[in-house]
Amino acid sequence: MQGRPGVLPGVAGAPAMRSTRRTAVQIALLRHFPTDWNAEGRLQGRTDVPLSAEGRAELALRRLPEAWRDRPILCSPLSRARETAETLAEGREVRIDERLLEMDMGEWEGRHGPELIADPDCAYGPVEGWGMEFRAPGGEGPADMFARLAPLFAELREPTLLVTHRGLMRAALAMATGWRYEGPETFRIKRFALHPVTLEGGRPVAVGTPEKLPLR
């Protein structure tokens, strides 16, 4: 597990004798399988781009690890995430939660990152230079994602699989590790892999080693 982040502190002035131990819950994050826009390097955001033929072919080869096969599944409402979750669920219930939507990229959706970076009048740039105040025009930024995720994490009381998007996963892992969109990411988001996150008191406090989805 990566070390404890600079999470929000507890209540100031609490009696020293009171135990600060909180129940730990492990969740797992999974990115949807690939789309044509992924292959083309386009920013997807909230645009409902379906899985590509290649993405569906790879999804058909994979299954959940045994430890996660009976766990609750929450999923973004976008079709690329829903199809990923429903295929891996193999008939079990998948609950939709809008808080797992991808970061809204506003006016930049459908554009190529290098194209935006080359525009001197565009504020888009590499994620390691965003900072917490970054926001896409007409869209969201890291602070919005943190605010969206905090109440969701606070509600989770048992191990749960969250099927979502890279931008959302980046925000969740940033919350857990203390990274603030400045400098290189302190974690790696991998394809076809579960990314464990430990919650304590409803707050993400550590991340584990990604676990590749096994072949069927």
Residues designated as active site: 32, 102
Q: Rounded CA gap, 162 and 160, in Å?
A: 6
Name the token pair of 55. Answer: 């993405």
Neighbours of 124 (CB within 10 A): 21
Neighbours of 56 (CB within 10 A): 15
Q: Rounded CA gap, 153 and 57, in Å?
A: 32
CA angle 95, 185, 120 (to 5 degrees): 100
147 phi and psi angles, rounded to 5 deg: -65, -35
Closest C-alpha to 105, from 128, 138, 71, 143: 138
DSSP element (H, E) containing 196 = strand 193-200
DSSP element (H, E) containing 211 = strand 211-212
130 phi and psi angles, rounded to 5 deg: -70, -50
Q: Rounded CA gap, 205 and 146, in Å?
A: 14
Q: At how many degrees (to 10) do helices 142-155 and 166-177 cross?
A: 80
